[in-house]
Amino acid sequence: MKVIYILWLRQIKRYLRSRARIVGSIGQPLLFLLALGFGFGPVFQRAGEGSYLQFLSPGIIAMSILFTAVFSGIEIIWDRQFGFLKETLVAPVSRLEIMIGRTLGGATVAFFQGLVIFIITIPLGFHPEFVTIPLGLLFMLLIAFFFTALGTAIASILKDMQGFQLIMNFIIMPTFFLSGALFPVNDLPQALKVILAVNPLAYGVDGLRGALGGAVYFGIGFDLLILGSATILCLGLGSFLFTKIQV
């Protein structure tokens, strides 16, 4: 347990020491909120869909968690290149404990990042359902744990940062843009609905939107079941791959 706590605390301290990373992680979601929320708001409203900012905010909160969580997992590659990972792995503790500590730290950072964005959306015009905020926080935690574990699984396979752009372009970006975070999914073509159905982030976005905004597509119970199951599976996969990592 001590190792888990130390690694959890190290992940948080590393994030807090990087002011540029904090500003950058807030800047991108804020840009999406301002540019899309206010830019496409009139068009969205004229189409009879109501406030676009109300629709968009849960998706941007999920986006913030997604990128922060994945980057936390990918940090394993940096630790491998600079030797810290080797020092950690040769310590007389199990690799499972190391993975749990890193995942807890990364997920905590991603969760608080999403919480900051959530708070920012309120003065911009987002009106959440305050009664169901705890349920929304649960979805935020599940998204954080899933994508931190996914980042760990990816980083356990990659040997260096050269493959990172491929991962971003072919996995992470499509995961976000095809999650329904930016557009309504009710009238999508069937092919896109199939992609949506196999995208774990789609259930996180839908659950957040249902809990905080009152609009839901799959159903909150179904969202919770699928995302919770996917998170458990991804944590197991990340743990297995991390135990096999070579330094």
Three-class DSSP category at 159: coil
CA angle 21, 39, 206 (to 5 degrees): 70
Instruction: Report angle CA 190, 193, 196 to the nearest 5 degrees.
Output: 160
- Tell me the one-letter amino acid at 54: Q
Q: Give the DSSP letter of residue 221.
A: H
- Domain containing 93 equals 2-243
| The predicted structure's pLDDT at residue 98 | 78
Mean pLDDT by 10 residues, the chain (247 residues): 71 69 78 86 75 90 92 76 67 74 88 93 88 92 93 81 74 89 86 90 94 87 95 89 74
C-alpha distances in Å from residue 92, one per residue of 27, 152, 244: 41, 21, 16
Rounded Cα distance, 154 and 247, in Å: 15
**CB under 8 Å to 236, separation ≥6 — which residues?**
none
85 CB neighbour count, 10 Å cutoff = 20
Q: What is the pLDDT of residue 91?
A: 64
Closest among 193, 219, 37, 237 to 125, alpha carbons compared: 37
Nearest to 136 by CA among 170, 111, 155, 100: 111
Per-residue pLDDT at 86: 66
Total tally of structural domains belonging to the chain: 1
Q: Which residues contact 12 (CB under 8 A, 6 or more apart)?
A: 105, 108, 109
pLDDT recorded at residue 29? 87
Letter string b/e over residues 119-145, b meaning 16 or more CB atoms within 10 A of that residue's CB: ebbeeeebebeeebeebbbbbbbbbbb
Asked whether the beta carbons of 72 and 53 are under 8 A apart, the reply is no
Quote the CA–CA distance of 117 and 68 in Å, as a whole number. Answer: 12
